[in-house]
Amino acid sequence: MTTSLDTHQDIMEVIPQRPPFLFLDAIVDNKPSDTTTAEYLVDAENPNFIGHFPGKPILPGVLIVEHMAQTACYCLGSDIQDPNCEYLLVKVNNCAFKDKVVPGDSLTTRVILERKFDSLAIFKCETKKLGKVIAQAELVVAFKLPQAATMIGN
């Protein structure tokens, strides 16, 4: 099933992050435990800009990876459908940044679930700005299901 959500509230029903550490504005395409595409508008009011290259703010690369990780967790969480599921980013492989991200930029990230195990999932992630790839990585996410939760695909 493909869904489209456009509010923080809808996203916060699936993943635990909250502003100011929520780096998803919209889910534009979602196939639970398969692929998800999310958007994030880089807000000039983000408190991380205060000390990261003052006067010429650049979004820290680690926050681009966090944006990818939140998209991956949404992909899993939309299948698990339990707000009490815990997600942890446990490994980042082959991460590369190809351009800087500044206030006002709009990011589009697509994650693809490559493999899923009992409590781990491996995602291929790609972030674009104006249609050009600006970051890519392979992320490993650990997840712990509450005892009563079951996944839709199982």
Which residues have a catalytic role annotated?
52
What is the Cα–Cα distance from 34 to 3, expressed in whole angstroms?
13
109 close to 67: Cβ distance less than 8 angstroms: yes
- Tokens 């995602």, residue? 123
- Tokens 């509230």, residue? 9
What is the Cα–Cα distance from 85 to 137, expressed in whole angstroms?
24
77 close to 88: Cβ distance less than 8 angstroms: no
What is the Cα–Cα distance from 76 to 152, expressed in whole angstroms?
10
35 close to 29: Cβ distance less than 8 angstroms: yes
